[in-house]
A and B are shown apart, each in its own frame.
Chain A
Amino acid sequence: MAEDNLDIKLIKHIQDGIPLTKTPYEDIANDLGMPEKEVIDRLKDLLENGKIRRLAASIAHRKIGINSNAMTVWKVPSERVDECGKIMAGFEEVTHCYERPTFPDWEYNVFTMIHGYTDEECEGVIERIKQKTGLSDYVMLYSEREFKKVGVRI
């Protein structure tokens, strides 16, 4: 438990950004009063056990011109979910691909988040997904307004 608490303390300390110095891990270690090796080892473990997905840059994708974001939902027969999910995930422009539950009034079970520089680029990806999977029942849900978009914090 105490070990876990130190991990949480470490994540909380750097979740808004690591120091941009030549020796960021040493600086974090000094702030937290632990050796640099411990900071590095803890981060390695957190990455290995999946508690941290990546230690990387968060890009403001709209600012760099990636203005189109099409959440596309697909109706995929249950026995083809694995096969189709893998095909969809193989596209560079597909940043997220998930299976989600269905309901009598909601039958779309596979979600792909597609990011592109233009709507046409996203639609090109959707066309290619259709061709590769043979799927035809889908809805492109474009974002019309963004009310909130923040990184996950703890």
Chain B
Amino acid sequence: MTLSEIDKKILHRLQTNLPLTHRPFLELAKELGLDEDLIIERIKSMIENKYVRRIAPIINTQAIGNSATLAAMQVSEDKIEEVSQIINGYSGVSHNYLRKGRNKDIPLNIWFTMSAPSKEQLDENIKEIEERTGLKVRMLPTTKKFKIGVKFKIN
């Protein structure tokens, strides 16, 4: 399946809030000049074909009392697999990547985000990762947010 122009139109709109009304998709239909049944059918199809993961609340973990951080480690090539699996084992880890500097070499190469129900729990998890891997974890929590609005340009 490839996305049609109608799909793209729906997808673009769906990246901002769904109306909080009795018939939200009817409202979208009016906004976009489309049919309510068609919108629901296309969304289902885009989910089935994995273009869309879900329509759901995007949770602000900190606002509900959780503590979160970006973390980085310097891991040698031969230990990358093992260390990434240890990190993935924590349910609070939402992103975990191997990253490489393109214009400059930097030693930190494993980058992950972790949240936990409290700052204490977060610190404890990080300390545990350090113990289990024998490597230092650099915590880089957000000190100021300028933008958090993942909205992609649909070409």
Contacts and interface: CB of A to CB of B under 8 A. Distances in A.
Contact of A51 (B23, B63, B104): B63
A63 B18 CA distance: 22
Contacts, number: 234
Contacts of A57: 11, 14-15, 43, 52-55
Nearest to A49: B63
A122 B17 CA distance: 27
A56 B141 contact: no
Interface residues of A, number: 76
B142 A145 contact: no
A145 to B, nearest CB: 4
Nearest to B106: A139
B33 interface: no
Interface string B47-86: 1001111111111110110100010100000000000110
Given A85-B144, A141-B111, A142-B99, A56 B52 contact: no
Measured as residues with beta carbon below 8 angstroms from the partner, the interface class of chain B is 35 or more
Nearest to A70: B102
Contact of B54 (A16, A23, A99): A16
Going nearest first, the 7 A-B pairs with the smallest beta carbon separation are A17-B54, A89-B147, A57-B14, A85-B146, A99-B144, A97-B146, A148-B96
Interface of B: 3, 11, 14-18, 20-26, 36, 40, 43-44, 47, 50-61, 63-64, 66, 70, 72, 84-85, 87-88, 93-104, 106, 108, 111-112, 115, 138, 140-155
